[in-house]
Amino acid sequence: MNLKRLLKHLVLPPWLLRRVFSPSTMHAIEVAIAAGEMHHRGQIRFAVEETLALAALWRGKTGHERALEVFADLRVWDTEHNNGVLVYLLLADRDVEIVADRGIHRAVGEAAWEEICRTMEVALHAEEFEIAVVRGIEAIGALLAAHYPRHEPGANELPDMPVVL
């Protein structure tokens, strides 16, 4: 177990998430997702979690492992064209994880997702939370538009509203 990480999770004030992801920021994220989905057939979900539970930290659970759980819990995998993408933020660690369904992941590749994550994390460390997430969603939207362009209106398979876990 990493003591420094444990302390970050234990001392993070419970009001921080509500402050940095205010209703206006959450609305901006929802708008960015909806706007992107007008240009592609992919489905994007954004989920933010303030901290991990003490038991998960004790076991050494990583942000990536938690993101995989959230991907399943939010049913991001359940899209017609296997093109769902989850953007997961573990606020205490300032860790961004992108989990993409097999269809879009195969087309885009790990390096592109990692680049978006690292770019978002730089902005998060600079405390530019809304900018980090909105720009990350726009970058994901551009990749989805390149591989799954929208030619006609279609169903919105997953909610655009951000999720606070």
pLDDT in tens, 14-29: 888 899 999 999 999 9
Cα separation of 109 and 53, whole Å? 31
Strand-strand pairing, 43-49 and 84-90: parallel
Average pLDDT (47-65) is 90
pLDDT of residue 155: 80
Per the structure, the count of domains in the chain is 1
Range of 146's domain? 3-164
Please report how many Cα atoms fall inside a 13 Å half-sphere around the Cα of residue 112, on the Cβ side: 16
| Total-model pTM | 0.92
What is the domain-level CATH number for residue 41?
3.10.310.50
Residue 3 has pLDDT above 70, yes or no: yes
pLDDT above 90 covers what percent of the chain? 66
Element (H, E) at 111: helix 110-125
Q: Tell me which of 32-36, 144-148, 153-157 is least confident.
A: 153-157
Q: What's the gap between Cα 105 and its chain centre?
A: 15
Residue 104 has pLDDT above 90, yes or no: no
Residue 124: pLDDT band with limits 50, 70, 90: very high
Q: Give the Å distances, CA to CA, from 165 to 35, 54, 70, 91, 141.
A: 24, 15, 9, 11, 23
Residue 1 has pLDDT above 70, yes or no: no
- Tokens standing for 67? 């993101």
Edge-to-edge order in the sheet of strand 84-90: 95-100, 84-90, 43-49, 163-164
Region at 21 (left for phi over 0; alpha for psi -120 to 50; beta for the rest): beta
What does pLDDT average to over the chain?
A: 92
